């Protein structure tokens, strides 16, 4: 069931898509002429306009216009995008020269697109004679075309026409002659080739002209065909002249091949009514015999000179001639996203068809679309001239006063024989921001059509930073990084407490050792206290001195002071761990006895001086033992 629904939806989608494509691919064709009443020598400009919303619209099919000589004059195209949909408008221009007098019709011009055929309405043209030649037309280059018989020469299609003539090598009945106006030209400079068909006899039918084979040239027809009468070597000829503008595309010796004309000339037979063959000729129809002739012009050589390298501008793209440059925009007040049509016009003499669009400088403020060109040619006095239009759509990306910079166009000036660079004026546009989707031009606001990517217009450094002070923390870090010896303080701090800790630990682990180390210091402290506080009291003084000595020795020996006797002391000090000299032992004994004798002496038996001396003796004894034990 689900599959069926999906299939139906898919079909509906395909149908809608197809319908949508068909609906979108609308094409309109319209034809117009600049005038509908003309004289025989006048030209009619036929403009066929094809407008379509799809891509790849084919060229219109011009029907066979047997009553006109048709010449294609160019094609111009403009593209517009409305609401995101692209429309192209292509104008085809043709020059028509009537070859009849009276009323004629330009039949419908058609175009086939998308399976449908679109066509224009027929256009009626009235041609008046006005004393002009009835047979005048433009040849079409690139193929065999009919050449009108020279005026005054009657063209017989049926019966023969007697025309007295005496053809000689110097005065042939018919001949073709081709000449160029210049033998040496620069590359892309115009040389005019003239092909003349001379006839001094009657022609049967229209002669067929085959243009010369051209190699290394771009050719441009120079209508109209000229006819006239002239005398060559004493013989009167009627002639038809076809001109071509040739533009060499390469330097060197270039050959212009022979132009050919196929014609049928009337045979002029001597008429002798008494001749045996007269009747035969009458009955066989040989009195009006024609002869086919193929006439060739002489091949020509043209020397194309290379353009000088000296002074060649970098932007030179091969334009040769004499030109002017102008630039314009359709409006100068726009919103961001609106389209502005920039039109560059190059006018002048030269091979305009081959002109490339001048390079548009980089404009980061604009979105620049492809350039479309159109051509308006005028071949007055057999010189290819006119204007070429280059249209470029610019869409401003940002608001403000924007400028379209100078655009350069370089060409080789034939008059001065030097390169010349033209510059377009700077164009200033005032671009407003505008509301989103407010694009008013024929190109819609692009921002409304679809989300766009961020595009880099230009790169620059970032802007200034607001004034900021260096933070205190930064300053603090800076201070620490440059503090030098101050940074050793924490090491000392740590080392102190670490050492203290180690010492405390040692005290706990080995108290005897601590007693040993501190014995000297404590003994001296007791002696000093005794000297200060008990100097006048000999008993106390002696007690303290005794305590100092016994405590010192007990600490050193790791014994209890109360258990220490002089005898035991001697035994301990003589052990191997103590290297006390015999003299020191003697002194200990002496001082010990002295203290004991004073301790037990009656009161008042000793003076302060004696007390002080015994204190000094104890100090000296302890110091000497300390020195010896180290």
Find the binding residues for another protein in span 432-461 (CB under 8 A). Answer: 459-461
DSSP state of 558: T
Task: Provide the mask over 393-432, with x wherever binding to another protein is found by CB under 8 A and - wherever it is not.
Answer: ----------------------------------------
Q: How far is the CB of 481 from another protein (least distance, A)?
A: 4
Q: How far apart are CA 627 and CA 580, in angstroms?
A: 10
Name which of 166 and 468 has its Cβ closer to another protein.
468
Contact status, residue 390 vs residue 226, Cβ threshold 8 Å: no
Contact status, residue 110 vs residue 61, Cβ threshold 8 Å: yes
Name which of 398 and 477 has its Cβ closer to another protein.
477
Name which of 1 and 461 has its Cβ closer to another protein.
461
Give the full edge-to-edge strand order of the sheet including 85-98: 27-33, 44-52, 85-98, 68-82
Tokens found for residue 296 = 């060739």
Q: Identify the CA nearest to 240 among candidates 144, 130, 153.
A: 153
**If residue 194 lies in a helix (H) or strand (E), which one and from where to where?**
strand 191-199
When asked if residue 15 is in the footprint of another protein (CB under 8 A), the reply is: no
Q: How far is the CB of 463 from another protein (least distance, A)?
A: 7
Q: Identify the CA nearest to 427 among candidates 465, 388, 394, 381.
A: 394
> Given candidates 83, 275, 487, 581, which one binds another protein under the rule CB under 8 A?
487
Q: How far is the CB of 453 from another protein (least distance, A)?
A: 21
When asked if residue 467 is in the footprint of another protein (CB under 8 A), the reply is: yes
Q: Say how many C-beta atoms besides its own lie within 10 A of residue 308's C-beta.
A: 12
Find the binding residues for another protein in span 493-552 (CB under 8 A). Answer: 493-494, 496-498, 500-501
Q: How far apart are CA 239 and CA 196, in angstroms?
A: 6
> Given candidates 12, 477, 512, 620, which one binds another protein under the rule CB under 8 A?
477
Q: Say how many C-beta atoms besides its own lie within 10 A of residue 263's C-beta.
A: 26
Please identify, among the stretches 143-151, 231-239, 294-302, 485-493, the one whose residues bind another protein according to the rule CB under 8 A: 485-493
Q: How far is the CB of 401 from another protein (least distance, A)?
A: 16
DSSP state of 192: E
Please identify, among the stretches 1-9, 491-499, 513-521, 543-551, the one whose residues bind another protein according to the rule CB under 8 A: 491-499
Q: How far apart are CA 554 and CA 563, in angstroms?
A: 9
When asked if residue 468 is in the footprint of another protein (CB under 8 A), the reply is: yes
Q: How far is the CB of 521 from another protein (least distance, A)?
A: 24
Is the previous residue joined to 232 through a cis bond, with omega within 30 degrees of 0?
Answer: no
Q: How far is the CB of 330 from another protein (least distance, A)?
A: 33
Q: How far is the CB of 499 from another protein (least distance, A)?
A: 10
Name which of 164 and 485 has its Cβ closer to another protein.
485
Strand ranges, E, within 64-168: 68-82, 85-98, 102-106, 110-113, 116-119, 123-128, 145-146
3-state DSSP helix/strand/coil percent for the chain, to nearest 5? 30, 35, 35
When asked if residue 478 is in the footprint of another protein (CB under 8 A), the reply is: yes
Residue 368 burial (CB < 10 Å; 0-12/13-18/19+)? middle
Q: Identify the CA nearest to 363 among candidates 423, 404, 310, 313.
A: 404
> Given candidates 4, 415, 469, 630, which one binds another protein under the rule CB under 8 A?
469
Please identify, among the stretches 240-248, 441-449, 473-481, 515-523, the one whose residues bind another protein according to the rule CB under 8 A: 473-481
Contact status, residue 374 vs residue 389, Cβ threshold 8 Å: yes
Number of residues forming the site for another protein (CB under 8 A): 31
Q: How far is the CB of 405 from another protein (least distance, A)?
A: 20
Q: How far apart are CA 557 and CA 578, in angstroms?
A: 9
Name which of 184 and 475 has its Cβ closer to another protein.
475
Q: Identify the CA nearest to 97 among candidates 142, 46, 54, 55.
A: 46
Task: Provide the mask over 581-620, with x wherever binding to another protein is found by CB under 8 A and - wherever it is not.
Answer: ----------------------------------------
Please identify, among the stretches 156-164, 176-184, 269-277, 480-488, the one whose residues bind another protein according to the rule CB under 8 A: 480-488
Residue 516 burial (CB < 10 Å; 0-12/13-18/19+)? middle
Q: How far is the CB of 486 from another protein (least distance, A)?
A: 9
Q: How far is the CB of 489 from another protein (least distance, A)?
A: 8
Name which of 274 and 463 has its Cβ closer to another protein.
463
Q: What are phi and psi of 460, to 5 degrees?
A: -150, 170
DSSP alpha helices (H): ranges in 406-445? none
Please identify, among the stretches 138-146, 338-346, 410-418, 470-478, the one whose residues bind another protein according to the rule CB under 8 A: 470-478
When asked if residue 472 is in the footprint of another protein (CB under 8 A), the reply is: no
Q: How far is the CB of 403 from another protein (least distance, A)?
A: 18
Name which of 370 and 459 has its Cβ closer to another protein.
459
Residue 389 burial (CB < 10 Å; 0-12/13-18/19+)? middle
Binding site for another protein (CB under 8 A): 459-470, 474, 476-483, 487, 490-491, 493-494, 496-498, 500-501
């Amino acid at each position: 069931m689900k599959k069926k629904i999906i299939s139906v939806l898919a079909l509906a989608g395909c149908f809608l898509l197809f319908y949508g494509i068909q609906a979108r691919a609308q094409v309109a064709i319209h034809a117009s002429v600049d005038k509908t009443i003309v004289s025989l020598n006048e030209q009619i400009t036929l403009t066929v306009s094809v407008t379509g919303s799809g891509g790849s619209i084919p060229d219109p099919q011009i029907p066979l216009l047997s009553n006109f000589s048709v010449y294609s004059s160019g094609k111009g195209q403009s593209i517009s995008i409305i609401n995101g949909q692209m429309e192209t408008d292509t104008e085809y221009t043709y020059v028509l020269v009537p070859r009849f007098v009276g009323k004629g019709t330009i039949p419908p011009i058609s175009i086939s697109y998308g399976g449908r055929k679109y066509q224009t309405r027929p256009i009626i043209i009235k041609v008046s004679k006005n004393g002009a030649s009835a047979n005048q037309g433009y040849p079409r280059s690139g193929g065999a075309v009919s050449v009108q018989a020279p005026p005054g020469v009657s063209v017989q299609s049926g019966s023969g026409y007697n025309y007295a003539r005496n053809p000689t090598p110097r005065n042939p009945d018919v001949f073709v002659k081709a000449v160029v106006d210049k033998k040496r030209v620069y590359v892309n400079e115009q040389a005019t080739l003239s092909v003349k068909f001379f006839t001094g006899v009657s022609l049967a039918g229209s002669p067929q002209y085959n243009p010369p084979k051209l190699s290394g040239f771009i050719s441009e027809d120079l209508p109209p065909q000229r006819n006239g009468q002239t005398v060559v070597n004493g013989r009167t000829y009627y002639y038809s002249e076809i001109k071509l503008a040739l533009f060499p595309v390469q330097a060197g010796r270039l050959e212009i091949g022979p132009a050919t004309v196929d014609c049928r000339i009337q045979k002029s037979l001597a008429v002798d009514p008494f001749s045996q063959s007269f009747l035969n000729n009458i009955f066989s129809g040989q009195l009006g015999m024609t002869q086919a002739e193929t006439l060739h012009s002489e091949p020509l050589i043209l020397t194309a000179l290379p353009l000088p390298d000296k002074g060649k501008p970098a932007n030179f793209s091969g334009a040769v001639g004499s030109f002017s440059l102008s630039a314009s925009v359709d409006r100068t007040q726009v919103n961001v996203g609106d389209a502005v049509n920039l039109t560059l016009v190059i006018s002048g003499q030269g091979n305009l068809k081959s002109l490339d669009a001048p390079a548009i400088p980089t404009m980061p403020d604009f979105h620049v679309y492809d350039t479309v060109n159109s051509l308006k040619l005028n071949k007055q006095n057999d010189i290819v001239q006119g204007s070429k239009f280059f249209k470029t759509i610019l869409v401003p990306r940002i608001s403000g006063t924007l400028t379209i910079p100078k655009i350069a166009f370089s060409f080789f000036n034939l008059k001065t024989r030097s390169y010349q660079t033209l510059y377009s004026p700077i164009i200033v546009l005032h671009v407003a921001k505008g509301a989103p989707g407010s694009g008013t031009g024929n190109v819609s606001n692009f921002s409304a059509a679809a989300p766009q990517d961020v595009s880099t217009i230009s790169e620059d450094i970032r802007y200034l930073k607001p004034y900021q002070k260096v933070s205190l923390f930064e300053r603090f870090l800076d201070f620490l990084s440059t503090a030098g010896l101050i940074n050793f303080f924490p090491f000392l701090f740590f080392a102190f407490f670490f050492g203290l800790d180690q010492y405390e630990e040692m005290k706990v682990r080995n108290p005897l050792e601590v007693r040993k180390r501190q014995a000297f210091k404590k003994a001296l402290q007791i002696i000093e206290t005794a000297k200060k506080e008990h100097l006048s009291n000999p008993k106390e003084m002696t007690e303290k001195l005794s305590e100092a000595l016994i405590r010192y020795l007990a600490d050193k020996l790791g014994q209890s002071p109360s258990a220490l006797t002089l005898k035991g002391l001697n035994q301990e000090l003589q052990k191997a761990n103590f290297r006390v000299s015999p003299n020191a032992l003697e002194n200990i004994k002496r001082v010990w006895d002295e203290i004991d004798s004073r301790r037990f002496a009656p009161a008042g038996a000793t003076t302060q001086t004696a007390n002080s001396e015994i204190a000094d003796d104890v100090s000296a004894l302890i110091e000497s033992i300390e020195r010896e034990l180290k």
